[in-house]
Structure 1
Amino acid sequence: MSIHFADSHQFKSFVKFRMALKIVNHDYQSHLKCYLFSDFYDAECLLDNPFFRERTQECDLCMDTHEVKLMTESKHWLVRRHCQQQQPFVFKPKLVPTVTFEDVVDLYNKNKDVLDTSVARFYSSDQEVPDIGSLFGLKDNDNLKKKTGLSVNWVSKNMVSSQILRKMFPRPEFVPPESEVALEKTLYIDGPKSQLFEVIGGFYQAYEECSDVCSPLHVDLKEGDIVVFGPAMWRLNIMPNMEDTSIVYVGSFTV
């Protein structure tokens, strides 16, 4: 089973990135010859800005949202409106893509050299699966299911790996053509009883400062559904996965 998640990416991270670069150029210019900075080309932020504060949320954007809209047609103007108003929605494609664990293993084996070097972060709940090589070394879903409770997530911020992943997870048709799609991609693979993800449902919950005036929103999900939400306003909590393997692909775009 597979499902896509996307968030309407805000500009905060780009601002922090530019500020970090400015600080590095100013404070560490004399040390540039001593360090190999190419290792940080894919980093989202090189140095935290201690003065940065999240913008206070405008709770009126979510207090009148009582349901998750369903979309079956690519209406770009409607996508822009939902994103700008921080209204989550679920896009149900007419042709549902089926992605199995074996499909991802095959993609990895064909692009192993590139993907092995594209890992920005990798988390695994199983010490016997410490990296993507050991994950895809399981080869098929039957072996994956033997790893009861296994949960992994793999973050890539590399342009080449992003192009490879797009072959399996193409750009959603509802994303406006002028929108910029972020390089960062995350792939979640969770086995039975992982306690983390399941593709049948979940609920949106507003951030804490708005939770007293904004109600949680339940959503039922099918394989291939694309869930879209603004991360500045909403968190998406997914119910535990108890029976089967789930594959979740996460990307973001600007509006």
Structure 2
Amino acid sequence: MSKKYKMWYDELCLVENPYFQSVDIDCWACEDVRSVLDLSETDDPNLYQPHIGFPYIVKGGSAIVNYNQLEEMYLQNKLMMDTNAYRIKSSNSGWTTLADFMNHKLEQNPSPNQAEHVIWRLTRLEPTRALRKIFPRPSFVPTTVNVERFVLIDEPKAGAYVLPFPEGYKVFLMQGSGERLIILDPVPGCNSNCSRVSVLLKPSYFLYYNSWFYRPKSYPVENSSSISVSYLGSF
């Protein structure tokens, strides 16, 4: 199988319908949410979460991973990553593959405006296994997570964007380094029933949300000075 077609082999959906929305969505899970719940002091957040639709954070719930660690992980697995996980979406037209981006060495060569943004999507088992060595699964996250992962890399002034829409509806976002402001907007069918909530993600913060009810956006943080590295998955 050629590389051209191999890249689509693991896709569940080849073309997403941007106009799709549930007609009879029940907004009960977000109607009473006024803020993101902080469950940092609990042994198991799942026991204290009011219901599966309630967003929460755990400070210190994930590993601290900076850009240099991510780059080192790539170099240690370069051939495998360039073969099985090379696709990225980038704000820079010159970066069309993972190798393009990593060869630039963003930490040593920041962009003039420090506003570049990259989404690296992984859909195969071997690359995600290598990534888990620096982003281990927190004990309170089920072992039955989806293989699909996203790594989000943002320079300090990278603009706002909608977070990727993963396969599972129970979504977690782990902040490895840097800071980003996450604003959770209710899905279109729940705009009149539910409120927008937000949370500032700092290194080691873990955020859970339910994509049935929220469409989060990531925003830059004023006075931030380091590259943001975030890790998104679902179950």
Opposite residue 238 of structure 1, the aligned amino acid is S
- Matching of residues 224-235 of structure 1 within 5 Å: 224-235=204-215
1:113 maps to a residue whose letter is: L
**Distance in 2 separating the partners of 1:144 and 1:165:** 24
CA distance in 1, matches of 2:217, 2:6: 36
- Aligned partners of 2:88 and 2:148: how far apart in 1? 13
CA–CA separation in structure 1 for the residues paired with 2:122 and 2:180? 26
Letter in 2 for 1:157: T
What are the within-5 Å matches in structure 2 for residues 65-144 of structure 1?
65-72=33-40, 73-75=42-44, 77-78=46-47, 82-83=51-52, 86-93=53-60, 97-119=63-85, 121-139=87-105, 141-144=107-110
Query: In the alignment, what sits opposite 1:246?
Result: 228
Q: What residue is the counterpart of 1:203 in the other structure?
A: 183
- Paired position in structure 2 for 1:194: 158
Structure with more relative contact order (C-alpha pairs < 8 Å, separation 6 or more): 1
Instruction: Give the length in aligned residue pairs.
Output: 211
CA distance in 2, matches of 1:87, 1:104: 31
**1:195–1:241 CA contact under 8 A, matched in 2:** no
Number of the residue aligned with 1:45: 13
Q: CA deviation at 1:38?
A: 5.6
Q: What residue ranges of structure 2 are gaps of 5+ in the alignment?
A: 162-177
Give CA deviations for 1:20-47 in whole Å, capped at 9, x if unaligned.
xxxxxxxxxxxxxxxx976543112357
TM-score (norm 2): 0.78
Structure 2 partner of 1:175: 141
Identity of aligned residues (%): 27
Q: Which moved more, 1:53-62 or 1:96-105?
A: 53-62
Decide whether the 8 Å contact of 1:120 with 1:157 is kept in 2: no
Alpha-carbon distance between aligned partners in 2 of 1:54 and 1:209, rounded to the nearest angstrom: 7
Q: Matched residues in 2 for 1:97 and 1:56: separation?
A: 39
What is the aligned partner in structure 2 of residue 5 from structure 1? Answer: none
Q: Secondary structure at the match of 2:13?
A: coil
Where do 5+ consecutive residues of structure 1 fail to align? Answer: 1-35
Instruction: Give me the CA root mean square deviation.
Output: 2.8
TM-score (norm. length: structure 1) = 0.72
For residues 43-71 of structure 1, give each alpha carbon's deviation from its aligned partner in whole angstroms, at most 9, with x where no partner exists.
Answer: 1235779xx97363211221111121111
Q: 1:240 to 1:152 in 2, by over 3 A?
A: same
CA distance in 2, matches of 1:146, 1:102: 20
Question: Who wins on radius of gyration, i.e. which is larger?
Answer: 1
Distance 1:140 1:45, change over 3 A: closer
> For the structure 1 residues 240 and 93, does the alpha-carbon distance in structure 2 shift closer, same or farther, using more than 3 Å as the test?
closer
Contact 1:65 1:87 in 2 (8 A): yes
Note the C-alpha offset of 1:223. Answer: 1.2
